[in-house]
Structure 1
Amino acid sequence: MVTRHPRARSGSAEKSDGSPPPGVGSGGPPWIRAVTLVGAVLALLLLGAAGGMLVGLPGAGGSAAPSAESVDVGFAQDMTIHHRQATTMATLYRVNGEDPSISQLAFDIDTNQREQIGWMQGWLNIWDRSLTPVDGYMNWMTGPEGHQHHGAVPQDENGAPAIMPGMASEEELAELRAARGEELDVLFLQLMLRHHEGGVEMATYAAERAGRVQVRNLASNMLQHQTAESAKMVGMLRERGAEPLPFDN
């Protein structure tokens, strides 16, 4: 007597030998499981990083926000404006410049200062403070090393600086937009070097006097990066037979 085995029905999830087809019940081929695992790990890492950033933001832990007149708020507002001009000049060089070493410097400045703008604007949002200055520049620098020492800088009707130290004028920015070749190389280095020098006093003041440790740390980080970049730009100008622009503090 011949025993007949039942035939597999059409559309069944089992193969004729009774084992499940690939991807069913076994988690799929190994490479699919590996990709899925990697994706899950990356998602967890990104969530952890985002949480860490929020925890590190001053004021995120429920502590009282600094006052509108504080060093923390004034520094974040003013340095945002100062940084934005630096990123504008860096972008102009990256579009029109041809020297690889200067292009790399412009990229580094642009990337670093945009990230710092993000931190400062994030703090101001959390503190519910204006994202830009409302009563002129540098009024938060009221100590003996503060804005009273900026006699050479144009003043507004309240005696505060009309522009922050080191900032390029509209005429200088127009020259930078129009320049090409070696003229652009030298002008960019001169304007950016002076711009970095102008931010030193603000960053030093905040690094020493800001109320939040995160603000002090960011200001110190700015000083470290910009000091190194300034030294590099001085050397690049020397290589091109050019001198830095005069800086009146």
Structure 2
Amino acid sequence: MIRTSRAVGTLLRRAGALAGVLLVAGGLVACTEEAAPEPPTNSAPVIVPGGPGEEASTIAPGEGTAVEEEPPNEADVEFVQDMIVHHTQAVAMAELAPDRAAAADVRGIAARIADSQGPEIDMMNRWLERYDKPTVDTDAPDGGHGGHGGHGGHGAMADHADMPGMATDEQLATLEAASGDTFDTLFLQLMIRHHEGGLTMVEEVRRTGVNVRVQEIADDVAVTQTDEINRMRGMLVA
């Protein structure tokens, strides 16, 4: 009976010691978790793009990174208005393709142009409204301004024969009368030239414009239309 009591006591003492070890270990784990170091903060400088013709600058992390948008100058406004006119003709040409083109890839590139440039026209007119500049009414016969700012009309098609890449009335009439393979070839030739004219306009506003948003629009036009030019050239030689 005495031996049994001693054995029980020994077991109780061992259990108590084990519990103590577990409590200490748990405490160490908790302390370790509480003392875990915070993730390192980013110490790399932030690059802020400069305006057209200016070099980029750097600021320390945590400093304000917002870039104040320069109000548009005359070059910015003219680029946006002219690009709306330019897009309007491209969409008109592209909308001829579904009923006239023979090749599926020509119909496809035409649909891509119409689907992308239509919304871009709306976006650019909203930009003009933001700065109270004359918008371009692409539905009016002469593409007159929407009346903002009290300026004179800005024809969507009239008086723009000298705009880079624009097709003439005679070329548009020939395209509209064509069909099949003849339409495909003429459409690709005219649209490639049209896009190349758009790239010329982009390069001009990159040199003379000051508004950041207009520079972004110009960059988007350059990327999209360069890709489409390459696609259409491939279709011509296929």
Q: Place the TM-score, normalised by the shorter chain, in its bin.
A: 0.5 to 0.7
Distance 1:171 1:106 in 2: 20
Question: 1:108: which partner in 2?
Answer: 112
Over the aligned positions, Cα root-mean-square deviation in angstroms equals 2.4
SS at match of 1:192: helix
Task: Confirm or deny: 8 A CA contact 1:189 1:237 kept in the other structure.
Answer: yes
Partner of 1:89: 93
Deviations 1:66-97 (A, max 9, x none): 35xx1221111111101100000000112322
The aligned length equals 154
Three-state SS of the structure 2 residue aligned to 1:197 is: helix
Letter in 1 for 2:203: T
- Counterparts of 1:210 and 1:94, CA distance in 2: 37
SS in 2 for 1:94: helix
**Would the aligned equivalents of 1:136 and 1:162 in 2 still touch at CA under 8 Å?**
no
Per-residue deviation at 1:228? 0.9
CA shift digits 1:130-186 (9 cap, x unpaired): 12485989xxxxxxxxxxxxxxxxxx8xxxx75201111111111111101100110
SS at structure 2 position matched to 1:106:
helix
Give, in whole Å, the separation in 1 of the partners of 2:199 and 2:185: 22
- Show the 5 A alignment for 1:145-224: 162-224=161-223
Q: Which runs of 5+ in 1 are unaligned?
A: 1-62, 138-155, 240-249
CA contact (8 A) 2:188 2:232 kept: yes
Structure with greater helix share of residues: 2
| Corresponding position of 1:8 | none
Secondary structure of 1:193's match? helix
Q: 1:66 aligns with which of 69, 72, 75?
A: 72
- Corresponding residue to 2:134 among 127, 130, 134: 130
Give me the whole-angstrom Cα distance separating, in 2, the residues matched to 1:201 and 1:232: 19
Indicate whether 1:235 and 2:234 are aligned: yes
Q: Which runs of 4+ in 1 moved over 3 A?
A: 63-67, 132-137
TM-score (norm 2): 0.59
Is contact 1:208–1:216 with CA below 8 Å preserved after alignment?
A: no
- Is the Cα contact below 8 Å between 1:77 and 1:131 reproduced in 2? yes
TM-score scaled by structure 1? Answer: 0.56
Q: Which has the larger radius of gyration?
A: 2
